[in-house]
Amino acid sequence: YNTSPLNSLVIFTFRFEETRRLFWDGPRNLNHGQMTRTTPVLTLPAPNFRTTPARIHLTPYV
């Protein structure tokens, strides 16, 4: 395995260019696994069974 200074410089330059491309090409989202939801999920309210139903009269109340 040959580790000459030229090989080390090539590897260093390559890694620097890759890192520079990550940060200088524009904004990046680096934590894809921890993205949070920005819009809340709307749900229907739970029914309230403690209230009494409204009385409906089919015939006029006398």
Q: Give me the residue label for tokens 């040959």.
A: 2
| Contacting residues for 29 by C-beta, under 8 A, at least 6 apart | 35
- The residue ranges of every structural domain in the chain are 1-27
Average confidence (pLDDT) per 10 residues, the chain, 62 residues:
63 71 64 62 67 63 59
Instruction: Spell out where 1-62 has E strands.
Output: none
Q: What are phi and psi of 13, to 5 degrees?
A: -65, -40
Q: What's the burial of 15, exposed, middle or buried (CB within 10 Å: 0-12/13-18/19+)? A: exposed
Note the pLDDT of residue 6.
Answer: 62
Residues 29, 35 contacting (CB under 8 angstroms): yes
Q: What is the pTM of this model?
A: 0.22
